[in-house]
Amino acid sequence: MATVAATPTEICVAAKEASRALARTPTSLRDAALEAIAEALETRLDDVLEANELDQDAAREAGLEPALLDRLALSPARVAEMAEGVRRIAALEDPVGEVVEGRRLLNGLDLRKVRVPLGVVAVVYEARPNVTIDCTALCLKSGNAIVLRGSSSATQSNAVLSALAAEAAVGAGLPSDVVTLVAGGGRGELEELATQAGVVDLIIPRGGEGLKAALTEVATVPVIYAASGNCHVLVDSTADLESARAIAVNAKVQRPGVCNAVETLLVHADVAAEFLPRALGDLADAGVELRVDDRSRVASGPAFAHPLGEAHESDWATEFLALVLAVKVVDSVEEAIDHINRYSSGHSEAIVTGSTSSARAFTDGVDAACVYVNASTRFTDGGEFGMGAEIGNSTQKLHARGPIGLRELCTTKYVVEGTGQVRP
C-alpha cells in the first residue's frame, strides 16, 4: 500500500528493492499496470473527489490564494483528464532498452549504449494532486519505482490517489512498493528523504523557491529542480500585431497560476503606441493588473481607460502566478534579450516577429529551456510536446532540460559483447 506507516528510510529501501524487479518487467506488464490505474481513477472517482473536497475546505479556511486553490482542485473532468493522460503515456514507445548508439570497435567488440531506468525517483511537490498520477505513470512506464511526498494542503487527495495507483499497479502484476507515499509535511521527513544517497537515485522537487532552498541545504541525492517560470513575451517591430495580442493574452490569462504563464510583456518602441492601447485593454478586460514602465504608460495614451500601476525593479524578477503582468518598452531585440537573460528563470521565452533575423537572434541569444517564435509560452508542457505528461520542467543544463518525460527518467549503460577478446 502507498500509505504504510513507515519511515522515509524504510520506504526508500523498499522502493529500491522493488525498482530492481521492476526494471526487468516487460513493457506489456507496465502498460497493463497503467491501464489498471486509469480504470481505478474512473471507478473510484467519488473517493477521489470526496478526499479532494476535504483538502479544498481546509485550504479555503487557511486562506489559500485563488491560483493555488485552482491548482489543488479536482473535478470529474480533471480526473477524467488524468485517466486519459495515463493511457496516453501507456501508448508511448517504451524507452527502456532503446539503443542510443552502437558500433563495432576495431578490436571486434560490439558496443551498444542503451537506455535503462534510473531506479528510484522521488518527487516532492506542492498543492497539485494530479502530479501524483502523472509522475507515477511516467515513472512506471520508464521502469522506475516512485516515492511521492506531497504537501500538507493535498494530504487527503494524495493519500487516496497514491493508494489506488499502488493497488492497481500491484494488482496488475508489478512488484509491491513501486508506488509509495511519504505522508506528512515535516521538515525532518524531507531531510531524511533528501539524504537517501545510494538508495534514491533522483529527487525532483515541484514547488516554489522555499522548497528549492530547503532541498539545496540538505540534499545528498542528485536533484533536478522543476523550476519557477518568470517568462516573457517580446513583441518585435515586425510582429503581426493581431497575432501578438492573441499570444500575449493567452500566455497571461489562459492559466495564470502555472510556471509557463508569461509574467513580463516587452514591446518594441516602434510599435508600442499602436500595440499597447489595444493589447493592454484586452488584458485589463480579462482582469489583469498591469504594472508598466513610464514609456509603456505614455504609449498607452491619455485616453486609456484602465488603471496602470507602476512597475518597480522587483517586478521584473517576480513570478506572479496570478493575473498580474509587468510591461516594458524596449528599443531593440538585443535590449530585450539582455533584459530576459538578466531576469528570466530560464523556463520559457517567446518572440512575436515577422523577421527571420530577429527570430534567429532571439533563439540564439536567449538562455532558456524553451524558446518560442510566434507562439504562446503556454505550450511548454510534456503533454503538449507529445511526451504524454511531464514530471516537471527543468531549467538546469545537465541530464535534462525542459519537460522531463520518459527518456529523461532514464540513464544509459554500455553493453559490450565480444568473442573472447582480451586487452593486449
Query: So what's the pLDDT on residue 211?
Result: 82
- Least confident window among 73-87, 155-169, 208-222, 230-244: 208-222
Residue 361 CA to residue 311 CA, distance in Å, equals 27
Residue range 130-137: mean pLDDT, rounded: 95
Classify 322 as helix, strand or coil.
Answer: coil
Q: Are 115 and 148 in contact (CB under 8 A)?
A: no
Give the closest residue to 64 by CA, choosing from 132, 151, 131.
151
pLDDT tens per residue, range 91-103:
999 999 999 999 9
Cell numbers for 402 = 525542459
Residue 171 CA to residue 186 CA, distance in Å, equals 31
Cell numbers for 231 = 517568462
pLDDT > 60? residue 3: no
Q: Are 370 and 254 in contact (CB under 8 A)?
A: no
pLDDT > 60? residue 309: yes
Query: So what's the pLDDT on residue 106?
Result: 97
pLDDT > 80? residue 327: yes
Query: So what's the pLDDT on residue 4?
Result: 44
Query: So what's the pLDDT on residue 272?
Result: 98
Residue 188 CA to residue 110 CA, distance in Å, equals 48
More confident residue, 185 or 30: 30
Amino acid found at 261: A
Residue 292 CA to residue 255 CA, distance in Å, equals 21
Query: So what's the pLDDT on residue 144?
Result: 98
CA atoms within 13 A on the CB side of 290: 28
Question: Rounded mean pLDDT of the chain?
Answer: 94
Residue range 253-281: mean pLDDT, rounded: 96
Domains, the chain, with CATH or none: 8-226+391-417 (3.40.605.10), 231-379 (3.40.309.10)
Residue range 30-57: mean pLDDT, rounded: 97
Query: So what's the pLDDT on residue 188?
Result: 86
Query: So what's the pLDDT on residue 185?
Result: 59
Residue range 221-238: mean pLDDT, rounded: 91
CB atoms within 10 A of CB 24: 10
pLDDT > 50? residue 26: yes
pLDDT > 50? residue 2: no
Residue range 313-340: mean pLDDT, rounded: 97
